Structure 1
């Protein structure tokens, strides 16, 4: 079974770039957002439970599709509501992710490394036992904001998104390894190479 690394980082930290660099080295990428979407597909038992808990109007009567934006508005309104959603969703996500990570058919040849991209690490603490290690990509908040604005995001949008994400302190506390992405592209690639050598031994 491949070595499994959970990859986390705040918005505009460079997490996606690190994922691409690792993919270039042969890692197989698994997006936890996609896993979440799969367990909430039309007609799934999880979707039915969520509709029962948060409102049948969340599901389009014609297509059976979930209104994710409205679910987020309701489920993240209070910590209690968030806990209710996670109690329904997380067991199914864990089961699905475990099946993916233990399946030999996830790629043509079994990879040496599987990278699971984790949008919000604090939402998936229950899944951490599935990982061999946790790699966190960090950068100063001001630099991340500058990068995001440079890509077309408004400063206000960045601030709102960043405020909803785990702090760097939280990420560092749960990390096995940390890559500081406060330099240029060459420095980031070198840091990824150092991590690869340390963890994969090559």
Structure 2
């Protein structure tokens, strides 16, 4: 039986770094963010549903792709519209991820990583057997996000506030990787978890 591992964290917590480490070790990583981009490509069912709901003004003129910034502005300030968007995108993302998981199991993989930023917020723990949270303290999270996205402190704070606090996620996780230190320290913690749980690619 394959083990399905849920990897999560907060914005700018270093989850992608851990995800890359797992890929480099030969693990299959199914990325929710990547799936979310794939399901809204031009012509996909979710894309057509979004255009029908939000109108063509959210599209880029040159190639009809969805302008994520325009769509983001609409839903960031409107809870009802955000729910409508999530109602279209989330089921499509789940469907794609589950079919990729089934393919990985069929090809003989022992461990499959589901990289899901909003694993707890979206109540998707039913998709996985165990969970790992990548944690940083709030000061580090804020400064990394400001640096990475060129956000003001206010912009970064509001993005962080829209997610579960990382401290709460720790209490929900089966294992925690503290990513406040060096890359080497993070990798050591990951290795320890994989060994303790006897998880092979």
Give the alignment's TM-score, normalised by structure 1. 0.83
Paired residue for 1:197? 195
Paired residue for 1:56? 56
| In 2, Cα distance between equivalents of 1:56 and 1:147 | 35
Q: Alpha carbon RMSD of aligned pairs, Å?
A: 2.7
Residue 46 (1) aligns with residue 43 (2): no
| In 1, Cα distance between equivalents of 2:70 and 2:90 | 19
After TM superposition, give the deviation of residue 174 of structure 1 in Å.
Answer: 3.4
After TM superposition, give the deviation of residue 178 of structure 1 in Å.
Answer: 1.5
**Of residues 118, 121, 135 in structure 1, which corresponds to 2:119?**
121
| In 1, Cα distance between equivalents of 2:108 and 2:16 | 22
1:49-198 to 2 correspondence within 5 Å?
49-60=49-60, 63-104=63-104, 110-122=108-120, 124-125=122-123, 127-148=124-145, 153-154=150-151, 156=153, 157-198=155-196
Q: Is the 8 A contact 1:42 1:64 kept in 2?
A: yes
After TM superposition, give the deviation of residue 129 of structure 1 in Å.
Answer: 1.8
Paired residue for 1:4? 4
Q: Render the CA deviation track for 1:135-161: whole Å, top value 9, x for unaligned.
A: 101111112334456668455253343
Q: Is the 8 A contact 1:13 1:138 kept in 2?
A: yes
Paired residue for 2:25? 25
After TM superposition, give the deviation of residue 49 of structure 1 in Å.
Answer: 1.3
**Equivalences, count:** 199
1:152 to 1:57, Cα distance in 2 relative to 1, 3 A: closer
Q: Is the 8 A contact 1:26 1:112 kept in 2?
A: no
| In 2, Cα distance between equivalents of 1:34 and 1:72 | 17
SS at match of 1:135: strand
| In 2, Cα distance between equivalents of 1:50 and 1:42 | 11
| In 1, Cα distance between equivalents of 2:104 and 2:36 | 21
After TM superposition, give the deviation of residue 123 of structure 1 in Å.
Answer: 5.1
After TM superposition, give the deviation of residue 184 of structure 1 in Å.
Answer: 2.7
